[in-house]
Structure 1
Amino acid sequence: MKKKGLLMLFMTLLLAACSSGGSQEEAWKDMSWEAVEEEADGTEVRLYMWGGDEGINRYIDEWAAPRLKEAHNITLERVPMDAAEILQKLQTEKQAGKQDGPIDIIWINGENFKNAKENELLAGSFTNKLPNFNEYYDTEDPAFQTDFGTSVEGMEAPWGKVQFVFYYDADQISEPPSSFAELQNWIHDHPGKFTYPRAEDFSGNAFLRHVLYAQAEEPSNIYENSLSEADIQPAAESTWAYLKDIQPDLWRSGEHYPNDLTELDRLYSQGEVWMTMGYNESRAESLIEDGVFPESTRSFVLEPGSIGNTHFLSIPFNSSNPPGALAAINFLLSPEAQLAKFKPDYWGENTPISFDQLPEDMKQEFEAVDRGESVLSTERLEESFLPESEAAYVEWMKEQWFDEIVQP
């Protein structure tokens, strides 16, 4: 009995300690915003994010980090890492019970958000605490409520929005194709001058889903419905037929596909292919400015449209500095930070901020931005916009593309 009593006492103390630790770890959820900023002052925040775009990296390192330090005395460290690797790291830390992790903010969306949410790798809902989000964003916007079909529930804050476009060298191509059928003919007429990244790559997967949309009776048959292989079989079969048809006339006769968008961009910059692609309708501007892409680079979209999405910032379950993460995210959502990101100097991507909720002078500054010659008009982008399908299509496309195209 004595041993049993000691065991019960030990378990009681252990549970009390765990309860106390959990409440301390989540104390930030009950803080006022003033208290959050006080706690964040003088701290370091580590932002883990994809690092494959130099314009994006420069925006963080040269614009955002110095101004965050000046305005809030927060040191922002950018850590380049692919989203899948970030989630694997968090999963390992969760399994090991590590509650004081090195990651404070992650750049995330789509299937990665779905996986993070389902595996409880995120800190929980926080957007209701962000002054800038609640003042300058349409908090009820459907684009902020779901992410590739997964309910957001305040677990990530909208950082930007992008649309998928194709880029071409106007010195080589006088008139780009206007549909996937025309692209098919163009590839046959210009063998070796087009290719796309593998399905494992985010941009390559998006290209393949565009083909799937184009082969369906209506794109909405894909993006408005959950994945059902039986229902999409006709569109899927047409997709594989399309990809097999163009394969012999792709770069390297389709025997090798670029591993990622960075590799495809390099082929384009070297003139080996005459087109590249990707999310962010204005990303070419900084590459043209830096002499990476030719000055004759222009963009186009194909019928039936251009898939667009919102991308987000989130806080992992074991951030060692949640107040700092909140303050940094709030800063990155500010009108000033979004305006700098909107300009083509660094990043040049579109913003999820609501112009109607901005002060008139700031609204005018956004409207005065010249996004560059390579960027399609806002009207053309809006009329071609197509929503993302649910995240399950991404994984399905990876598996099916490999089986049907790489190793049929």
Structure 2
Amino acid sequence: MKKKVSRKTWILSGLSVLSLAAAALTGCANSGQAEVSQDVPTVTIWGAGGQEVREALQTIADAHNADPKYNTKAKVEVQFVVSGTSEQSLEDRLVATYQAGETNTDFDLIALDDSAIAKIVSRTKEDFFDDIDTSKIPNYDNLVFKDNVVGTNFIPYRGTCVYLAYDSEVVSEPPKTADELYQWIEEHPGRFAYCDPSTGNSGFSFVANTIYNQLPQEAALSNDPKWETEHTEEWDNAFSLLEKLHPYLYQTAGKVQYPIKNQGVLDLLATKQIDMTPAFANMVLSQKNMETLPDNIKLTQLEEPFLGGLAGFMIPSIGSDKEACLSVIDYYLSYEAQAIDWNTMFASPVVDPSKLEGLEHEDWLAETDMSSMRYFSIGTIQTDISKRWTEEIGSLAR
């Protein structure tokens, strides 16, 4: 495994002291890392997504590197591709490395949402990611999401869910079902928006729910193309409904607008240009904590929940020290690391939340209970949904 100079430590202001590891992070992170022997293997975590995900991964990595129980087994470094930039995507980097025939790289651990994995496998090979021996991960026993649709080569480390975010000063009784939401949209023209689903999964969740509410429950957990090719009537009905709703959505300059990215709709909500939108819970909570979203923005979930998913670790076959990777995964599943993840980006824990200590805004954790998560993992069908939406619905706004 390659030895590299440590990246600059990321420490979020106000991070609670959770344990000896976190105390070392906030008080003497640099000296803690300096004590790590140069002979300790370096495990590079590669991730992709928003800046808040990057900061959370790095903050936990710093705490790991200051923990004497773990820093004698591995040193963690984080490489991250921030979404929305001109950088080559993590998927493309992995595929290019694979196609070049490289077998000993610093792609040691990959931290991705489960929905992104099928795209990588489709461009490499079925066994591109190694099976993970969970018997060598003691904190695996902490995990409450052991069953996942990816399989034995995927270990979840955080959860994510889309909720209905609304302005409680305007909406006293938010919709409870999808049908009630559709009715509310028509009764309140221009006060609802969802982002272009090809640019943000909060918008994708609205579109996907419109389709999958009409399909059997198991369809949301399958990438089998039959759910698309053998259920054309349900798909057609869903897109007809989206077309029907189109004129009632947020408008500017007399035209319906689909904001770009997940942040786009939250900006409209913060400035009272809309009253309601699907949004990722952690984004809403983080921005309320930073006071860029006001306290009157609340979250609720429908009886047919919006999509939820898991982000987790996978070990590519082209990486290096597998044993060191297992030790790093073990730390990220510790109660200490899970608490840091919540305090850094309000990521839904994948362990029993009652075991976590030193949490900020513990009441918000109860509001976003992962037990109600509707798990979506549909592989490349997601691409088909976004493409059809662009052709049939997005084109209406041009």
- Same fold (TM > 0.5): yes
Query: For 1:371 and 1:166, how far apart are their aligned partners in 2?
Result: 20
Residue 376 in structure 1 maps to residue 367 in structure 2: yes
Is the contact made by 1:166 and 1:278 (CA closer than 8 Å) also made in structure 2? yes
Give the aligned partner of residue 234 of structure 1.
233
Is the contact made by 1:163 and 1:308 (CA closer than 8 Å) also made in structure 2? yes
CA positional deviation for 1:347: 2.2
Is the contact made by 1:187 and 1:250 (CA closer than 8 Å) also made in structure 2? yes
How many corresponding residue pairs?
348
Partner-residue secondary structure (3-state), 2:344 = coil
Superposed, 1:9-408 pairs within 5 Å as 42-54=40-52, 56-61=53-58, 63-71=59-67, 72-73=70-71, 74-82=75-83, 85-118=89-122, 119-120=124-125, 122-128=128-134, 130-137=136-143, 141-143=146-148, 146-147=149-150, 152=151, 154-200=152-198, 201-214=200-213, 216=214, 219-220=216-217, 222-223=219-220, 226-228=224-226, 229-252=228-251, 255-279=256-280, 281-320=281-320, 322-342=322-342, 345-353=343-351, 355=352, 363-365=354-356, 371-373=362-364, 376=367, 378=369, 382=371, 384-407=372-395
Q: Which deviates more, 362-371 or 293-302?
A: 362-371
Partner-residue secondary structure (3-state), 1:372 = helix
Percent of residue pairs bearing the same amino acid type? 18
Give the aligned partner of residue 33 of structure 2.
none
Query: For 2:172 and 2:363, how far apart are their aligned partners in 1?
Result: 19
**CA, structure 1 residues 365+48, in 2 after alignment: closer, same or farther (shift >3 Å)?**
closer
Give the aligned partner of residue 18 of structure 2.
none
Query: For 2:116 and 2:364, how far apart are their aligned partners in 1?
Result: 33
Query: For 1:135 and 1:224, how far apart are their aligned partners in 2?
Result: 24
TM-score where L is the length of structure 1: 0.73
Query: For 1:373 and 1:142, how far apart are their aligned partners in 2?
Result: 25
CA positional deviation for 1:107: 1.8
CA positional deviation for 1:124: 0.9
Query: For 2:54 and 2:340, how far apart are their aligned partners in 1?
Result: 13
**CA, structure 1 residues 245+207, in 2 after alignment: closer, same or farther (shift >3 Å)?**
same
**CA, structure 1 residues 400+369, in 2 after alignment: closer, same or farther (shift >3 Å)?**
same
Gaps of 5+ in 2: 3-35
Q: Which structure is larger by alpha-carbon Rg, 1 or 2?
A: 1
Query: For 1:127 and 1:39, how far apart are their aligned partners in 2?
Result: 26
CA positional deviation for 1:243: 0.9
Give the letter for the 1:346 counterpart: T
TM-score where L is the length of structure 2: 0.75
Partner-residue secondary structure (3-state), 2:279 = strand
CA positional deviation for 1:298: 0.8
CA positional deviation for 1:167: 0.9
CA positional deviation for 1:232: 2.0
**CA, structure 1 residues 59+50, in 2 after alignment: closer, same or farther (shift >3 Å)?**
same
Query: For 1:334 and 1:327, how far apart are their aligned partners in 2?
Result: 11
Deviations 1:241-263 (A, max 9, x none): 21111212222366442231122
CA positional deviation for 1:335: 2.0
Question: Cα RMSD (Å) of the superposition?
Answer: 3.3
Give the letter for the 1:60 counterpart: L
